[in-house]
């Protein structure tokens, strides 16, 4: 432990059972067809069970009568089992049950792995494979600006720019074991046609992150042509955004020991000078390897063998 405090828990898991049956035969997955030509757009919440903003935004949008005006729309609550395991005494533990759901999208793991997350991924896979556009809604441990994150080929960056909110991009080219949902198959193929984005909406348990998730959801669905701008505009919350910025992740540091501490109470997006001490991992000092080094995702409950801190270079 680092002695730092997490943001307050303003939002708690809700009873999502009204969405469990769905209309697809797969629990917590809804599919609506407009009967009009257009893309198949998929929106996903709860890839991580403790990231409530996606569930809140999808629950809200479905309750508002969200339906596609063109093409089809798939709404999926992903790891509901992990969400239901939430314990406010250990609020980060419900991220997943057996395996990070956002690492399991490797074809060999999808084929063979016997975890509850792989089981759920296999249920979701046919829907993922049918999506022309996919938005996966996440949140972060600390209250930082909202941003899109991923390897973000030119197609993904173009879509993020067209959606226009949020305006910060984190370019993260792997650096961990496994594959994320938005890296699956054609999404990560530069020559492909299907496009997926991850949005990080702010801190896990804040009402403000829910508002960011709602705004991003509506903007994404509008720009992909799935819903009408009038319907979205009547409902879209007004939320602040940071100045535009693009950050390239250079290192995802995995803790090697249990003796983990940060040099300051970092929350993310702090820029430090080359050589500045960032953290300690047992006898190892983690220092900024280049100028204008940006600190991302400092873990509130760092653990040996898990991602501890991420470093990024500001590129524009």
Q: Which is nearer to Zn ion, 103 or 313 (CB)?
A: 103
d(CA 305, CA 38) in angstroms, rounded, equals: 44
Q: Which is nearer to Zn ion, 31 or 59 (CB)?
A: 59
Q: Which is nearer to Zn ion, 180 or 222 (CB)?
A: 180
Peptide bond between residue 166 and the one before it cis (omega within 30 degrees of 0): yes
Asked if 227 and 218 count as a contact pair (C-beta separation under 8 A), the reply is yes
CA distances from 53 to 37, 93, 172, 183 (A): 30, 16, 22, 22
User: Residue 136 is encoded by which pair of tokens?
Assistant: 């996966």
Min CB(102)–Zn ion separation in Å: 6
Q: Which is nearer to Zn ion, 141 or 222 (CB)?
A: 141
Q: Which residue number has the CB closest to Zn ion?
A: 138
Residue 304, Cβ density class (10 Å: 0-12 exposed, 13-18 middle, ≥19 buried): middle
Q: Which is nearer to Zn ion, 74 or 137 (CB)?
A: 137
Point out which residues pair with 76 in neighbouring strands: 29, 44
Min CB(136)–Zn ion separation in Å: 8
Among 216, 203, 202, CA closest to 164: 216
d(CA 316, CA 313) in angstroms, rounded, equals: 9
Min CB(297)–Zn ion separation in Å: 10
Tell me which residue has tokens 């395996």.
Answer: 99
Q: Which is nearer to Zn ion, 136 or 281 (CB)?
A: 136
R_g of the chain computed on alpha carbons = 19
Q: Is 154 helix (H, G, I), strand (E, B) or coil?
A: helix
Min CB(144)–Zn ion separation in Å: 13
Q: Is 248 helix (H, G, I), strand (E, B) or coil?
A: strand
Q: What is the four-CA torsion angle of 189, 113, 149, 251, rounded to 10 degrees?
A: -100
Q: What is the four-CA torsion angle of 125, 191, 48, 222, rounded to 10 degrees?
A: -90
Q: Which is nearer to Zn ion, 72 or 78 (CB)?
A: 78
Min CB(150)–Zn ion separation in Å: 12
Residues of this chain that bind Zn ion (CB under 5 A): 48, 51, 138
> What DSSP element (H or E) covers 107?
helix 107-112
Min CB(115)–Zn ion separation in Å: 17
Min CB(51)–Zn ion separation in Å: 5
Q: Which is nearer to Zn ion, 138 or 194 (CB)?
A: 138
């Amino acid at each position: 432990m680092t002695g730092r405090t997490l943001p307050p828990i303003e939002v708690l898991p809700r009873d999502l059972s009204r969405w469990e049956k769905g209309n697809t035969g797969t629990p917590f997955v809804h599919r609506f067809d407009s009967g009009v030509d257009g893309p198949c757009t998929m929106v996903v919440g709860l890839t991580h069970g403790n990231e409530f903003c996606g569930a809140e935004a999808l629950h809200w949008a479905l309750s508002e009568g969200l339906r596609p005006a063109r093409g089809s729309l798939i709404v999926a609550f992903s790891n509901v089992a992990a969400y239901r395991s939430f314990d406010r005494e250990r609020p980060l533990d419900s991220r997943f049950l057996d395996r990070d759901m956002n690492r399991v999208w490797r074809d060999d793991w999808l084929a063979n792995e016997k975890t509850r997350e792989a089981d759920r991924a296999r249920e979701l896979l046919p829907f993922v494979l049918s999506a022309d556009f996919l938005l996966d809604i996440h949140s972060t441990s600390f209250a930082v600006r909202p941003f899109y994150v991923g390897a973000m080929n030119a197609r993904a960056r173009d879509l993020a720019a067209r959606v226009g909110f949020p305006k910060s991009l984190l370019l993260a080219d792997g650096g961990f074991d496994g594959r994320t949902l938005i890296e699956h198959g054609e999404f990560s193929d530069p020559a492909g046609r299907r496009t997926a984005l991850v949005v990080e909406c702010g801190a896990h348990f804040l009402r403000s992150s829910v508002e960011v998730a709602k705004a991003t959801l509506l903007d994404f669905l509008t720009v992909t042509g799935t819903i009408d701008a009038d319907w979205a505009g009547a409902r879209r919350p007004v939320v602040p955004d940071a100045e535009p910025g693009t950050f390239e992740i250079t290192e995802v540091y995995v803790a090697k020991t249990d003796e983990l501490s940060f040099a300051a109470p970092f929350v993310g997006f702090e820029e430090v000078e080359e050589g500045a001490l960032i953290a300690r991992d047992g006898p190892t000092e983690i220092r900024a390897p280049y100028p204008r080094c940006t600190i991302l995702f400092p873990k509130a409950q760092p653990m040996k063998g898990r991602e501890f801190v991420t470093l990024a270079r500001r590129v524009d």
